[in-house]
A and B are shown apart, each in its own frame.
Chain A
Amino acid sequence: MEKLTQLCADIAKLWAKYGGSYLTGMRNTLVLALVATAIGCVIGFVCGILNTIPCTDRDPLPKRILLRLIRIIVRVYVEVFRGTPMVLQAVFIYYGLPYFTDNAVKFTNIWVAAMLVVSINTGAYMAESVRGGIISIDPGQTEGAKAIGMTHVQTMLHVILPQALRNIMPQIGNNFIINVKDTSVMFIIGFPDFFAAHRAAVGASYLYFPSATVEMAGYLCMTLIASFLLRWVEKKMDGSSNYELVQEDQLTMTAGTYNHPDKGTPFDEHSREYQSERRRRGRKGVR
Chain B
Amino acid sequence: MEDMILQVNHLSKSFGTHEVLRDIDFTVKKGDVTSIIGASGSGKSTLLRCINLLEIPTSGEILYHGKNVVAKGFNAPAYRSHVGMVFQSFNLFNNMTVLENCIVGQRKVLKRSREEARAHAMQYLEKVGMTPYINAKPRQISGGQKQRVAIARALAMDPEVLLFDEPTSALDPEMVGEVLSVMRSLAQEGMTMLVVTHEMAFARDVSNHVVYMNGGVICEEGSPEALFGDPQKQETRDFLSRFRNN
Contact = CB atoms under 8 A, between A and B. Distances in A.
Interface in A213-253: 239, 241, 243-248
A174 interface: no
Contact of B157 (A138, A148, A163, A244): A148
Most buried by B among A150, A151, A166, A243: A243
B136 interface: yes
B56 A154 contact: no
A148 B81 CA distance: 5
Interface in B108-146: 108-109, 131-137, 140
Contacts of B56: 56, 58
B148 interface: no
A41 to B, nearest CB: 18
A144 B93 CA distance: 8
B157 A141 contact: no
B157 A140 contact: no
B140 to A, nearest CB: 6
A95 to B, nearest CB: 46
A145 B154 CA distance: 10
Contact of A144 (B91, B132, B134): B91
A147 B133 contact: no
B52 to A, nearest CB: 6
Contacts of A79: none
B88 to A, nearest CB: 9
Interface string A132-167: 000000101101111111110010001100110010
Given A141-B94, A151-B77, A246 B109 contact: no
B135 A154 contact: no
A254 interface: yes
Contact of A147 (B72, B80, B135, B136): B80
A143 B77 CA distance: 11
Given A144-B92, A144-B93, A158 B108 contact: yes
Contact of A154 (B52, B85, B108): B108
Interface residues of B, number: 37
Contact of A149 (B105, B131, B137, B140): B105
A58 B150 CA distance: 30
A147 B52 contact: yes
B9 interface: no
A180 B44 CA distance: 55
B77 A150 contact: yes
Contacts of B208: none
Interface string A37-63: 000000000000000000010100000
Most buried by B among A138, A147, A151, A163: A147
A243 B108 contact: no
A163 B94 contact: yes
B30 to A, nearest CB: 20
B95 interface: yes
Contacts of A144: 87, 90-93, 150
A113 B97 CA distance: 44
B89 A150 contact: no
Contact of A159 (B77, B84, B95): B95
A159 B95 CA distance: 7
Contact of A243 (B104, B131, B137): B137
Contacts of B91: 138, 140-141, 143-144, 147
B54 A246 contact: no
Contacts of B13: none
Nearest to B108: A154
Given A243-B136, A244-B135, A248-B131, A149 B104 contact: no
B109 to A, nearest CB: 4
B1 interface: no
B209 interface: no
A146 B94 contact: no
A56 B54 CA distance: 13
Interface string A270-284: 000000000000000
A254 to B, nearest CB: 6
A146 B77 contact: yes
Given A143-B54, A239-B137, 19 more contacts: A144-B87, A144-B91, A144-B93, A144-B150, A147-B80, A148-B81, A149-B105, A149-B109, A149-B157, A150-B105, A151-B77, A154-B109, A162-B95, A163-B95, A241-B140, A243-B97, A243-B137, A246-B132, A246-B133
Sort A-B residue pairs by CB-CB distance and give the 7 closest, nearest first.
A149-B81, A144-B91, A148-B105, A147-B85, A140-B91, A243-B136, A149-B109
